[in-house]
Structure 1
Amino acid sequence: MVGALILGAVVTADVTGAAAASDPDGAVERHRDASLVRTDKGAVRGTVTRTARVFQGIPYAAPPTGHRRWAAPTPATGWDGVRDATKPGIACPQAGLLPPVGPASDDEDCLFVNVTAPRNASSGSRPVMVHLHGGDHTDGEGAMHGAERLAARGDVVVVTVNYRLGALGYLAHPDLETRGESGNYGFLDQQAALRWVRRNATAFGGDPGNVTLFGQSAGGYSTCAHLVAPSSAGLFHRVILQSAPCTADMGRRDRESALTQGVATAAGIEREHGPDDWRTALPGHLVNPFGTGPEYTPAYGGRLLPHTPQEAFATGRFNQVPVLQGINRHEERGRVYGLELAKKAATGDPDARIDQADHYARLREEFGEEKAPLIAERYPVSAYDGSPALALAAALTDGNWARHSVDTGRALSAHVPTYAYEFADDDAPWYADPNYRKPDFDVGAAHTFELPYLFELEAYASLTTTQRGLAHRMIRIWSDFARTGRASWKPTTPVAPNVQSLASGPGGIRPVDFAEDHRYGFWRTLR
């Protein structure tokens, strides 16, 4: 299996001896040492680049197969010799029909972490940043997020995580309750990865007493869950939330709804794929393409997650650590383009566009018959260069994201140091694959588009020289926060969001009136 090759001790000794014989000054030996780390389960050999040391495909838990499916993760088995950590481990099962989001996989042996450290971090005690990938809790993998630039420029140790997805990670069902609380297996995987970090960070030059948990979208909503989970206490010391305002409804399910959803999903699996027990279905029958099928998020209301973020923040009953949180200025433009593509496919018309009727129908669907006319009046198409798509995206961004970002910051700031940002680079890179054509309207700083500024991602076009400057500044902001728990601008307060705009070019990083720009006062009147 990729990322799981075991090298024998005899071979290792032979290579070492040969290197020493041909390199009397010891340069190869020093290079070999930099690529070798001993974890609590055995030694791993990674890759040393010009700026970083990269270790991939390290198991942090046993494969969740057989009797371990539908159960909390169990410890990984140790190994003899040196394990090859130069290639990623397999991604968790997912359909993979949208390659920028995640690769296709049907292999459940997928619970791996990847560690990237500065090249000189074999010793020392650097901040550790643990990243949870996005992808709707149905797609994605840790290895997609190359972290060499973040690790080297930020002088931090970065850990990216695979966790169970789709039904395998988040299906709750009464038949599974005899084995413990069902429906949050992916979340439990993340906890196991954080415990692995606590045991092993020092070996990679990291400080287990200074761990920042951060995630984008689904990974950010998972981070919200860790903020309020009693059993996650002490596993991290700072939090960064990217496009995941914790108080939004979209980031969670209540336990009763999750169980009802699980019963329906299980019945559908048996109906579609035959009479066999759904619990033993093939992995491919337990995942669905990105953006389709059941909504999978952490389920609240049981022992693991007894309180929602709204409840926990209101009472102060959460894991109180400093928080950096924000959204992208044009979050919903990407989804609106997806609606446009769906219209093209449904009509067979390659020139189909989102029109004013589509704009109003989506407002009714999202916000209800009573509120839709008020929102349409507040976001007239005429104010957006006559573009129904841009008018719809602005309303959806402000109603679904911005108001909750303000609420989240205010609620958190009553208890912990909280800093707010808005990623606002209007010309952020589009996808690299030529099959993904840009829409006719400007996509701007849409959902996920901040990621190539922090990570190396093959799915996106290259950054320009100016954008690389913003990337360096964002890495400094993220890593400084991981190091100190502070940002360079005023923190949020219960009455003032104090949001910093992050964009490229002169004056691109500056304070903005986020609440005014996103019509927060208007949305408060609609509650």
Structure 2
Amino acid sequence: MIRTLTLLTAALLTVAHAQDTAAPTVPPTSQSAPSAAPGTPVRAQVRTGTLVGREAGGVRVWQGIPYAAPPTGDRRWRAPQPPAIWVGDRDASRPGNVCLQRSALGDGPTRGSEDCLYLNVNAPANANRAPVMVWIHGGSFRSGAGSDYDGRVLAREQGAVVVTINYRLGPLGFLAAPGLVGNQGAGNYGLLDQQAALRWVRDNVAAFGGDPANVTVFGESAGGMSICNQLASPLAAGLFDKAIIQSGPCTPDIVLSPLADALKTGAAFARTLNCPDAGAACLRAVPAERLLTTETPGLAFISFPPVYGDGVLPRSPQEVFGSGQVNRVPTLMGTNLDEGTLFVAPFGRDGRDIPLWQFWLLVGQLEGWNTLRVLANYPTRDYPTVGLTASALVTDGVFACPSSEIIRDLARFTPVYAYEFRDRDAPSVLKPSAAIPDYGAYHAGELVSVFGTPLTGLASPAQFTPAQADLARTIRAYWGNFARTGNPNGAGLPVWAPFASPGGTVQTFQPGRIAGTTSFDQEHRCDLWSE
């Protein structure tokens, strides 16, 4: 039972990138060295030296660009430091190391390196003060990489400079321990990495034809949660001009931790590493891979989530959004209709539906004292399987309703555009289970549309119907327009009204039908989750 609970809690907020799911059908990520980008060599002069990338198909690509010094040795668990200057040309035709990580459930091989603070730039060949879109990947704050995403189609279609970044993950990115407390607090090194990457973009993106005064940060799942946290971070003020948050509310208790609790977890983790005083010198001497293979004390939905109560996030995002003391930039934010199916599916892979006791346990973990009331509002008789009941609960309680509350708070102070992705036939290579016979509009199901490129183990645009391909182009046009102007609307697109309380409009996306709805909260039972 304890192992089952560990799997359940670990799976709940796992990113949907295929190699990071619990599904046994997903192939492992290759450990081989990445191949060089094809095309003609092309140079860019940044502050630290000359980069040589490749141009092909009207898009210039530079990969493996260091935006900070390697966070190794004495730099482990410190704010990122400036990258070194180099002499001569630096080959930028291959991605850099991904950040050290294990599979989503922590039982697979490691990949990557501590030396991982790299980013990639995709720019139209004729870019001149083009809008800039900086992608922050998901992965439950413990897996994923910027190089997992191909920004070339988005760059070519939307005339934007698309940047994808790495940031420190797991204990290397978010461990808070008493001996590591510094001027900016403890933990949140991954969030500091993101801020360092955004400063690098401000300082260098003009060399690629980008406009440093027009930067949009966008991300999904843990990447969206990261952006949500950056909206609440005083240290991120002025680092970006617009934000797109996909399936990434940062206010639920299960996706962040108060500093006091994080320090207790960190101290217990340090003891398991034979560092009883949680001292910095002892912890920095621990081999990096051992940090990943050591069991985290206690049970948590995210083993090492972002922390609030330090210099990066002095207050909880929920408090910041409620007070309006937020980084006020135009924001586009939304969720998918069936977020929960991806997380619940692994528990029906023995050919049976989820047992009722496991569903009750999930509700208890999420809701505590409110368990009975929640169960009364999600009767299993209303769904084909117990798994789909659990999925609806996860969708509403973890994603839809927290996002709706954030949207309402932000809309009081800045323009906000809300959406819901509703394509229940979204392509996928994920295998159904007895618990989840159909994934529907699943978590990350919109990503192939946003990027217009395949995502290994998840889906490919080649699977689109003509109507889905049209929807994907429309979504990219909305995202591109928003990056240019802060307004997703444009010629030939269905009108998308900004959100305005009460009764705010949420734009719904499905093939052949894009329309606004004012019943989002009622459909997701948000009255229940807001109490």
TM-score range normalised by the length of the shorter chain: 0.7 to 0.9
Q: Cα deviations across residues 322-365 of structure 1 (Å, max 9, x unaligned)?
A: 11011111111111113334xxxxxxxx3232133433332233
Residue from 235, 239, 245 that aligns with 1:241? 245
Match of 2:338 in 1: 330
What number of residue pairs does the alignment pair up?
Answer: 479
Q: CA deviation at 1:287?
A: 2.2
**Code of the aligned partner of 2:288:** P
Q: 1:501 aligns with which of 508, 520, 526?
A: 508
Task: Give the aligned partner of residue 108 of structure 1.
Answer: 114
1:89 aligns with 2:96: yes
Show CA shifts across 1:186-231 (max 9, x none). 1111111001100111111110000011111111111112112112
Which residue identity is paired with 1:110?
A: C
Instruction: Pick one of 385, 389, 392 that aligns with 1:391.
Output: 389
TM-score by length of 2: 0.84
Q: Report the equivalent of 2:206.
A: 202
Task: Give the direction of change, closer, same or farther, for the CA distance of 1:107–1:515 in structure 2 (3 Å limit).
Answer: same
User: Which amino acid letter does the alignment assign opposite residue 359 of structure 1?
Assistant: F
Provide the rounded CA distance (Å) in 1 between the counterparts of 2:294 and 2:134.
Answer: 26
**Could you tell me whether the CA contact under 8 Å between 1:211 and 1:238 is conserved in 2?**
yes
Of the candidates 209, 226, 233, which is equivalent to residue 229 of structure 1?
233
> What is the aligned partner in structure 1 of residue 480 from structure 2?
479
Letter in 2 for 1:439: S
2:433 equivalent in structure 1: 439
5+ long unaligned stretches in structure 2:
1-31, 490-495
Write the letter of the residue equivalent to 1:281: V
What's the offset of the Cα at 1:460? 2.0
**CA displacement, residues 117-149 of structure 1 (integer Å, 9 cap, x when unaligned):** 12322xx11110111111011101000011111
Give the superposition deviation at 1:297: 2.1
CA distance in 1 between partners of 2:241 and 2:210 (Å): 13
| Cα gap change, 1:389 to 1:2, in 2 (>3 Å) | closer
State the partner residue of 2:377.
Answer: 378
Judge conservation of contact 2:324–2:409 (CA < 8 Å) in 1: no
CA distance in 1, matches of 2:486, 2:373: 41
Q: Is the contact made by 1:56 and 1:89 (CA closer than 8 Å) also made in structure 2?
A: yes
2:279 aligned with 1:281 = no
CA distance in 1, matches of 2:232, 2:323: 11
Aligned residue for 1:413? 411
TM-score normalized by structure 1?
0.85
**Contact (CA 8 Å) 2:273, 2:294: kept in 1 or not?**
no
* Deviation digits for residues 160-195 of structure 1 (CA, Å, limit 9, x no counterpart): 111111111111111112575221111111111001
1:297 aligns with 2:295: no
Map of 1:28 onto structure 2? none
Which residue matches 1:518?
Answer: 524
Alignment CA distance shift 1:511-1:52 (3 Å): farther
Residue of structure 2 equivalent to 1:366: 366
Change (3 A) 1:102 1:356: closer
Q: Which of the pair has more CA radius of gyration?
A: 1
Distance 1:81 1:231 in 2: 34
Matched position secondary structure for 1:445:
coil
How far apart are 1:447 and its partner, in Å?
1.4
Cα 1:330–1:236 change in 2 (3 A) is same
AA matched with 1:330: D
For 1:223 and 1:353, the matched residues in 2 are separated by: 35
SS in structure 1 of the partner of residue 517 of structure 2: strand
User: C-alpha separation between the residues in 2 aligned to 1:313 and 1:322?
Assistant: 14
Aligned to 2:425: 427
| Aligned equivalents of 2:257, 2:416: Cα separation in 1 | 25
1:387-427 Cα deviation digits (max 9, x unpaired): 11111211221122221111111100111101100111102
Task: Give the whole-Å Cα distance in 2 for the aligned partners of 1:98 and 1:249.
Answer: 20
Change (3 A) 1:50 1:406: same
